[in-house]
Amino acid sequence: MTPDGPLLELTGVSKRFGPVQALDRVDFAVHPGEVVGLVGDNGAGKSTLVKTIAGIHTADGGRMRFEGREISVSRPQDATELGIATVYQDLALCDNLDVVANIFLGQEEVSSGPGGISGQLDEAKMEHRAGELLSGLSVTIPSLRTEVGTLSGGQRQQVAVARSLLGEPRVVLLDEPTAALGVPQTKQVLELIGRLRERGLGVVVISHNLANVFEVADRIVVLRLGRTAGDFKAEDTTEEHVVSAITGIGEGAGNGEGGNGEGGEGERR
Amino acid sequence: MSAAEGAQPAAARDGDEERGVRAEVLRRFIQGDLASLRVVLGLAVIWIIFQSQNDRFLSAENLTNLMLQITAVGLISIGIVYVLLLGEIDLSVGAVSGLAAAAMVVLNVKHGWSPYLAIAAGVLVGAAIGVLQGFLFSRFAVPSFVVTLAGLLAWQGALLQVLGSTGSINVTDPKITGLANTFYSDAVGWVMAVLVICVYAGIMLEGHRRRVATGLTGESIGPLAIRIGAVAAISIVVVAILNSDRGVPLALLILLAFVFGMEYVAKRTRFGRHVYAVGGNAEAARRAGIAVNRMRVAVFGIAGTMAAIGGIMAASRLLAVNQNSGGSELLLLAIAGPVIAGTSLFGGRGAVWTALLGALVIGSISNGMDLLALSSAVKFMVTGGVLLLAVIVDAIARSQRQAAGRV
């Protein structure tokens, strides 16, 4: 694999639920240090695509490559082991537990001493590691021992992202990370996404909010009716082009061929 | 390049972080420890009222009796705390305690089993029933309320069946009656007090040492010393009082051992952390790879086990198992205790020591009214009133805490 090759590459991936063709020969790639915005109307297949990458659904056809190797992901654990982390919209945090407990939930560090037999938690080690993770993301949380239920929406999102980084993934999928957040909190989360990019991770952001996507994404992939309906370089395109690709209204969009020509869509009008 | 960019805000943030930590410690002190302080104050008020009505209430003899009276309920409540932490309820613990005690006494008296084997069998009966109910609840997604309500009826029937036509069997084995009727000499009592203080101080200081060694800020040595001092003072006062009567009872040691042991499991182990997680957000726990259904079965198993142990202690104290064993208000008091002392009915919040504190509050009310020779009618109504008052105060405190947290 060359350094510039994609971290994760999907070629012709299809997924069918009964009569519904949720994904139809979708091509998708994310490179190291790249933020890809995945946009599309409701039912366009965004969630299905993410769940297929995350191992919740298994693709019916097509190929997936990770760091150049052919892979098959049939369980969420497969994706996690490969280094693909997913942060879902509902975050799945326990409000009654503190930040450290949430970050390590299900992967707690156990004492190495005699207490380890009883499954004694190594709180000091976990708190230390959690502190490192969060300060590496320049996250501002008053205390690691704060109950997550008392945090703001943006802080909760940050905790969820930090949690996903525990396994040192290469690719992070974020499902609607800015939904239901206020303006300053949205800014926090977008900055956080920027820092993930600086670390050389491949980041996939699903969002309905085109303004946010344009602010943070290097590349924008549009899905429409289960097909790739556009693949734009963020700096070379405008919201109008992306919207027309999403809706299929206007020229140069909706024919499923957009995936081939990065940034060339503007000329097709 | 990213490191250089990251360094600046990190350095600037250090001061804020320290202030944040201090505010957080203060907040936790107010909201966490004051909640239990509230219950302790309530207990003090109850004691003052009864003492003013009858000066035998705070005598060493009566306080020793109080300890013996709360043992069974306290032990059963420990299991209830675990169930409440999951956000579930177990209505069968009273009946299970009676059935387990009956199984023990029948095996011991009628079948001539050794007391140790009979006790172990009784505990196993409770554990097996708990596991069965937990399995039915998690496997078929029947509300725990219904499963254990059915259990309440069924195990009461089983109790009558096991006791047979006599309806009452006396406990005669000295090993079994000794559980609730053994008192230790003064010297042994003091040795135990010293042991408790040393173990507690050791655990707290070791935790502190580890935090410092890992380079973490947090609780400074001052509050730590206060806590250790408080535990030491309580231990010394309790042993002094008990020694001036019959001595430290074995029953109290059993209760305290289970309270500390199960508190340790809940707060310091991976298993306990997962109990809190399932109670807080079962879906999040499932996605984090926690076997939620297995946790549920285990927790109901704990509830059944603790109910059996409580039932055996009750049988030992009353020297008999009869058709009323584990019946009447035992179940409701075992649930009311932890709730009065601050364990949430909705899951994810609470602590094992609330079982002890709650049993102490309810036991004091009951004991005090017995001393005043009040009727059962008054006792029930007053206990009900105290439960209601406690949950209302708790609900108000919680809503304020939430309001403060959101802002």
Alpha carbon of B131: minimum distance to chain A alpha carbons (Å): 21
How many contacts, defined by CB atoms under 8 Å, are there between A and B? 114
CA distances from B177 to B69, B171, B180, B249, B321 (A): 15, 7, 6, 13, 12
Distance, in Å, from the CA atom of B95 to the CA atom of B156, rounded to the nearest integer, reads: 5
Alpha carbon of B348: minimum distance to chain A alpha carbons (Å): 6
3-state helix, strand, coil in chain B (%, to 5): 80, 0, 20
Q: Which helix (H) or strand (E) holds A69?
A: strand A69-71
- What pLDDT is attached to residue B159? 94
Asked if A136's CB is within 8 angstroms of B288's CB, the reply is: no
Interval B116-136 mean pLDDT: 97
CA B161 vs. chain centroid, Å, equals 30
Asked if B280's CB is within 8 angstroms of A143's CB, the reply is: no
- What pLDDT is attached to residue A267? 36
Tokens coding B60: 């060493």
Least confident of B118-127, B179-188, B241-250, B326-335: B326-335
Q: Report yes or no: B173 and B104 within 8 Å, Cβ to Cβ.
A: no
What do you get for the CA distance between the two ends of chain B, in Å? 37
- Sheet containing A69-71: give its strands across: A20-30, A8-17, A61-66, A69-71
More confident residue, B54 or A252: B54
- Beta bridge partners, A70, equal A65
| pLDDT tens figures, A201-216 | 999 999 888 888 999 9
- Kindly report the backbone phi and psi dihedral angles of residue A268, in degrees, each rounded to the nearest multiple of 5, phi listed first: -80, -5
- What pLDDT is attached to residue B140? 93
- What pLDDT is attached to residue B2? 39
Interval B132-151 mean pLDDT: 94
Alpha carbon of A188: minimum distance to chain B alpha carbons (Å): 13
More confident residue, B259 or B227: B259
pTM: 0.86
Band the pLDDT of B217: cuts 50, 70, 90: low
Interval B159-182 mean pLDDT: 91
Distance, in Å, from the CA atom of A61 to the CA atom of A68, rounded to the nearest integer, reads: 18
- What pLDDT is attached to residue A259? 41
* A154 Cβ neighbours under 8 A, 6+ residues apart: A181, A182, A184, A185, A186, A188, A189
| CA dihedral for B225, B226, B229, B235, sign (positive or negative) | negative
Average pLDDT, chain B: 87
Whether the pLDDT of residue A264 is over 80: the answer is: no
More confident residue, B391 or B238: B238
Band the pLDDT of B44: cuts 50, 70, 90: very high
Residue in B2, B28, B271 closest to A119 by CB: B271
The percent of residues in chain A predicted with pLDDT above 70, rounded, is 91
Q: Chain A residue with minimal CA distance to B206?
A: A124
Whether the pLDDT of residue B111 is over 70: the answer is: yes
Least confident of A12-26, A132-146, B333-347, B368-382: A132-146
Band the pLDDT of B219: cuts 50, 70, 90: low
Band the pLDDT of B33: cuts 50, 70, 90: low
Distance, in Å, from the CA atom of B88 to the CA atom of B361, rounded to the nearest integer, reads: 23
Q: Report yes or no: B96 and B151 within 8 Å, Cβ to Cβ.
A: yes
Nearest to B72 by CA among B89, B93, B56: B93
Least confident of A54-63, A217-226, A259-268, B330-339: A259-268
Least confident of A9-13, A116-120, B288-292: A116-120
Residues of chain B in contact with residue A140, where contact means CB-CB under 8 angstroms, are 13, 16
Q: Using the 8-state DSSP alphabet, how is residue B108 labeled?
A: I
Residue in B20, B281, B289 closest to A94 by CB: B281
| CA dihedral for A96, A101, A106, A108, sign (positive or negative) | negative
- Beta bridge partners, A86, equal A173
| pLDDT tens figures, A70-124 | 988 888 888 888 999 989 888 789 999 999 999 999 889 988 877 778 888 988 8
Band the pLDDT of B18: cuts 50, 70, 90: low
Whether the pLDDT of residue B6 is over 50: the answer is: no
Interval A231-237 mean pLDDT: 87
- What pLDDT is attached to residue A261? 40
Whether the pLDDT of residue A268 is over 50: the answer is: no
Q: Report yes or no: B330 and B309 within 8 Å, Cβ to Cβ.
A: no
Residue B319's Cβ-side half-sphere holds a number of Cα atoms within 13 Å equal to 3
Interval B12-23 mean pLDDT: 52
What do you get for the CA distance between the two ends of chain A, in Å? 36
Is B396 buried (19+), middle (13-18) or exposed (0-12) by CB count in 10 A? exposed
Q: Using the 8-state DSSP alphabet, how is residue B109 labeled?
A: I
| pLDDT tens figures, A22-49 | 899 999 999 999 999 999 888 888 888 9
Interval B17-35 mean pLDDT: 56
Band the pLDDT of B401: cuts 50, 70, 90: low
Mutation choice for A interface testing from B8, B14, B212, B214 by most A CBs within 10 A: B214
Distance, in Å, from the CA atom of B225 to the CA atom of B12, rounded to the nearest integer, reads: 32
Secondary structure class of A38 (helix, strand, coil): strand
Distance, in Å, from the CA atom of A189 to the CA atom of A155, rounded to the nearest integer, reads: 8
Tokens 């992202």 sit on residue: A161
Q: Report yes or no: A93 and A148 within 8 Å, Cβ to Cβ.
A: yes
Residues of chain B in contact with residue A121, where contact means CB-CB under 8 angstroms, are 268-270, 273
Q: Are strands A69-71 and A61-66 parallel, antiparallel or unpaired?
A: antiparallel
CA distances from A179 to A53, A173, A189, A222, A261 (A): 21, 15, 11, 18, 30
Average pLDDT, chain A: 84
Q: Chain A residue with minimal CA distance to B269?
A: A120
Nearest to A47 by CA among A15, A93, A78: A15
More confident residue, B402 or B10: B402
Residues of chain A in contact with residue B214, where contact means CB-CB under 8 angstroms, are 124-125, 127-128
More confident residue, B397 or B73: B73
Mutation choice for A interface testing from B1, B14, B210, B269 by most A CBs within 10 A: B269
- Kindly report the backbone phi and psi dihedral angles of residue A83, in degrees, each rounded to the nearest multiple of 5, phi listed first: 110, 30
Distance, in Å, from the CA atom of A43 to the CA atom of A22, rounded to the nearest integer, reads: 8
- What pLDDT is attached to residue B214? 77
